[in-house]
Chains A and B, each alone.
Chain A
């Protein structure tokens, strides 16, 4: 799995940080998303998907890669 962020769309609602704090943070400068880990380990992939589905501005894109 690989996470990609469309940063310009982010308005800092914080849903991602709330849902998967291991993967997403919010910048202290402007509150927008900071991607902490673009290749989440298997145990965090479900929450990465949930965060993507909750994002109000479709900022988070998830690509399934063939790695284990």
Chain B
């Protein structure tokens, strides 16, 4: 079947329900799984919305992760050559292989589980503070943001006292409506901060990861300060921003599904599955991830030309009824499945095991501490992060009985 191609349209971004992806994805998945996509920079590429296609492209080395010639589906490409060193997310093998190989050992299941006692302490401290201050409280600054920030700071050796600075720079970088100049200044500020921190670690090493990477002997040649700065930036941003949004948006989703909330309270041992389902259902990397075709590639009879950008829609893939039964239903007991919330292929999230441990500790602890936890405002007044690369809530006002 070769229906005439529809004209290229921009990425669907209009949600009709705060917890569901834009409904347009459903039509595309059914009728146009390889849809022509109009990018803000004026180029035309492709949008993939089916689970099998998204997964296949992310594992296909005919598609590159390099950002130099990629288009962004939601704003102009702000990538500059200075952004490149150490930024392994935007690299292909063999360069990517080298960096990832250096880092993977520090993010294994075993190492991340070993952090559990410390994470439990951090979670308990923040719950104590919330309880002492009393309701109402905004979960974002009280719980969702500080916990992953503190954990990644300790892991990397970044002073937690500097959190307001790096959280502000990150928030600017991840805004959709940011001007090129503003985004650049925020990136420069974070880069300068990290470069100074790397220099400081060379003088005053500690036991945390940045110092460990400086000391590492096996990479040949040793990592340059530029590379360490890039890696440090990536790990810091990825480490605090994503989990923070999952914690706040996940809590909002649970409070919006009282039956599911109750089941998690009654069966906290099921938190592993619950976290995977929240990852799938919420898919906070809301605009998907981009690749550039290195050569002409056919998908479902559509020819993608070398050099074109392809957007693999993670939220559309995670709601594909071809892969998930009743995909639009939040079911915390769902069988383990191939959700793509951490991506797929060689770039699948390096920090996923840390994110899992953090969420598996934080959600049950929050529910245990406040058995009467509820929204302090009507649900429609919760400000959603439609305007940010990473979805979530800007604030989550909560209350409980004292």
A interface residues with partner B (beta carbon < 8 Å): 11-15, 17-19, 21, 25-32, 50, 53-54, 56-58
Contact = CB atoms under 8 A, between A and B. Distances in A.
A32 B338 contact: no
13 contacts: A11-B348, A13-B352, A14-B353, A15-B348, A17-B108, A18-B109, A18-B353, A19-B336, A29-B105, A50-B336, A56-B58, A56-B348, A57-B345
Interface centre among A25, A26, A31, A58 (most CB of B within 10 A): A31
Nearest to A56: B348
B107 interface: yes
A56 B109 contact: no
Nearest to A8: B97
A27 B108 CA distance: 8
Contacts of A28: 105, 108, 110
B270 interface: no
A11 B100 contact: yes
B23 interface: no
Contacts of A19: 336
B104 A54 contact: no
Contact of A57 (B59, B101, B108): B59
Main secondary structure of the interface of A (DSSP, over half): loop
A54 B336 contact: yes
Nearest to A17: B109
If over half of B's interface residues share one DSSP class (helix, strand or loop), that class is named, otherwise mixed; here it is helix
Contacts of A26: 108-110
A32 B104 contact: yes
Given A11-B104, A18-B109, A25-B110, 6 more contacts: A12-B107, A14-B107, A14-B109, A19-B336, A31-B104, A31-B108
Contact of B352 (A14, A21, A25, A32): A14
Nearest to B339: A54
Contacts of B59: 56-58
B346 interface: yes
Contacts of A54: 336, 338
A31 B106 CA distance: 7
A41 B288 CA distance: 39
Nearest to B105: A31
B336 A14 contact: no
Contact of B101 (A30, A56, A58): A30
A13 B105 contact: no
Contacts of A13: 342, 348-350, 352
A63 to B, nearest CB: 21
Given A11-B100, A14-B352, A18-B353, A57 B109 contact: no
B99 to A, nearest CB: 11
B343 interface: yes
A58 B55 CA distance: 11
A8 B215 CA distance: 26
B344 interface: yes
Nearest to A24: B109
Contacts of A29: 105
A7 B315 CA distance: 30
Most buried by B among A17, A18, A19, A58: A18
Interface string B329-344: 0000000101000111
A11 B346 contact: yes
Most buried by B among A11, A13, A32: A13
Contacts of B105: 12, 27-31
Contacts of B109: 14, 17-18, 21, 26
A50 B97 CA distance: 25
B346 A57 contact: yes
A14 B111 CA distance: 11
A15 B336 CA distance: 11
Given A14-B109, A17-B109, A30 B104 contact: yes
Contacts of B350: 13
A54 B59 CA distance: 12
Contacts of B353: 14, 18
B289 to A, nearest CB: 13
Closest 9 CB pairs of A and B: A31-B104, A12-B104, A56-B348, A31-B105, A26-B108, A17-B109, A14-B109, A13-B348, A56-B344
Contacts of B58: 56
